[in-house]
Amino acid sequence: MEYKSYEQMKEEFRNFYHSDAKGKLAEYEKFRKSNAPRIVCFYGVIFSIISLLFFAFFSIVHLAIISFVLAFVFAGLLLLGDKTNNNDDVNLHNSTEKILKNSLMDKFLNIFLDNAYWKADLSMNDLPKIKYYYSLNILSRAPFILFDDIIEGSFKDVKITIYEGNTSIFQFAALIFMVIVFAAFAAVLFFCFGILFFIATMSGSPFGFVVCGVLVLLGILCFFNYFFFYKQFRGLIIEIQMNKNFQGHTFFVDKTVGSRNIKFNKSLFESVKLETSKFSKLYNVYSNDQVEARYLLTTAFMDRICNLGLAFKAKSVCGAFKDDKLTLTINCGKDMFAMGSNFKESDSKTFAQLFNEMISILQIIDVLKLNERTGL
C-alpha cells in the first residue's frame, strides 16, 4: 500500500497555511489584543486576593488594605470589560490558542494522520488513562498532571494516541490546586498542633513544646518535599498500537535525574541484562517475562530508542510494552503543539514549528519500524 510521503505532507502544509491559517491569524491577532487587558485584570484579581490573605495573616494592615483596593479595582475593570465585549468567542475561558485550535487543528492534523481527531481537555472517559500510564512505571508520580492536547489518528495503518502532559507547578491551575491543598493541610496541621500544645500546657513539660515544634517543622518539610521536589514532566505520552499482544510487562527507564523517582514494586519485576553497552549505559530495563523482553529489545530497536532521545532533544525517554501497545514518555521540557498565545503573536514560524513537531512524532513509527509486521 502506498502512503503519503513527507514531501507530500510538506506541500499540503504550505497550502493549508496560505489558504486557512494565514487569514485566521490576522483575524485572531485582533482578538488577542482586545482580550489582553481582561487577562491582565483577571490575574490582577487573583494575585491581589492572595496578597490580601498573606498580609492579613501576618497582620500587615496597610498592605492588606492596598491589596483589597487593588482586587476591587481589577474586578471592576474585569466586569466592565466583559460588558463591553462584543465578541462571544473571546473570553477568559477561551484563550487565543484554543480559538485557533478549534478552527484549524483538525484540518492541520489530517495532513499527517488518517481519521485524525483532536480535543483540548480530558473527558471523564480519559481519566483511567492517567492511572494506567502510572502503572506502566514510565512516568514519575506527581501531585497532579494536566493535559493540554489529545490527538488520535493513524499513520501507515498504525493507530497512535498522543497526550501532552504537564506536571509543572508553574501553571495557573496547578498553583490554585496547590494553594487549596496547602490551606487544607495547614488547617489539619494547626488543629493537631493545638491539641498537642494544649496537652503540653496541661502537663507543664517543656518536652511537649519541643515535640510540637518538631512535628510542625516535619509537616512543613513533607509538604514542600511533595510539591516542590518531585521530578517534573512536560512532554508527550505517545501510545502506539502494535501488531502483537504482549504476554508480559517490559519497561525501560533512562538513568537521568528526571526518571530516578519512578517507583514500582520491584518484587514483581526482574532486571534485564542486555548485551548492548550503549543502551545499558543509558537505560535500566525491567520485565516480568525475561524471554519476551529479550525478543522485544533487539539491538536495532535499542539503537533507534537511543537516537529518538537525540531527535527530540529530550530530557528523558522511557517506554513500556504491555497489552498490545508500546507507550513512550518523552520529557521535552517545553510546550508542544503551540498554535497561539495570549501574550505573543503567532506567525509562519509558529506553524513551521508545529509541522516539525508532527513530523518528529511520525518518524517514531518509521525509525522504530512499527508498521512492519515483523519483529522489532
Q: Cell triple for residue 228?
A: 516542590
Under a CB-based contact definition with an 8 Å cutoff, are residues 285 and 251 in contact? Answer: yes
The CA distance from 196 to 205, in Å, is 12
Range of weakest confidence among 61-65, 202-206, 228-232, 322-326: 228-232
pLDDT score recorded for residue 17:
92
| pLDDT classification of 320: cutoffs 50, 70, 90 | very high
If one compares 366 and 95, the residue with the highest pLDDT of the two is 366
Can you say how many angstroms the Cα of residue 17 is from the centroid of all Cα atoms in its chain? Answer: 27
| Nearest by Cα to 364 from 239, 233, 234 | 239
Give the residue-averaged pLDDT of 16-21.
91
Q: Is residue 298's pLDDT more than 80?
A: yes
Compute and round to an integer the Cα radius of gyration of the chain.
25
Among 26-30, 64-68, 89-93, 173-177, the range scoring the smallest mean pLDDT is: 89-93
Q: What is the pLDDT of residues 204-239, one digit of tens each?
A: 666 655 666 666 666 666 655 555 545 578 889 999
pLDDT of the residue at 287: 95
Burial 250-264 (b: 16+ CB within 10 A, else e): bbbbbebebbeebeb
pLDDT class for 90, splitting at 50, 70, 90? very low
pLDDT-based confidence at residue 25 (cuts at 50, 70, 90): confident
Give pLDDT tens digits for 43-59. 888 888 878 877 887 77
Q: What is the pLDDT of residue 114?
A: 93
8, 114, 262, 333 from 59: Cα distances, Å: 66, 61, 42, 40
Q: Which helix (H) or strand (E) holds 140?
A: none
CA distances (Å), origin 85, targets 31, 35, 89, 330? 10, 9, 10, 41
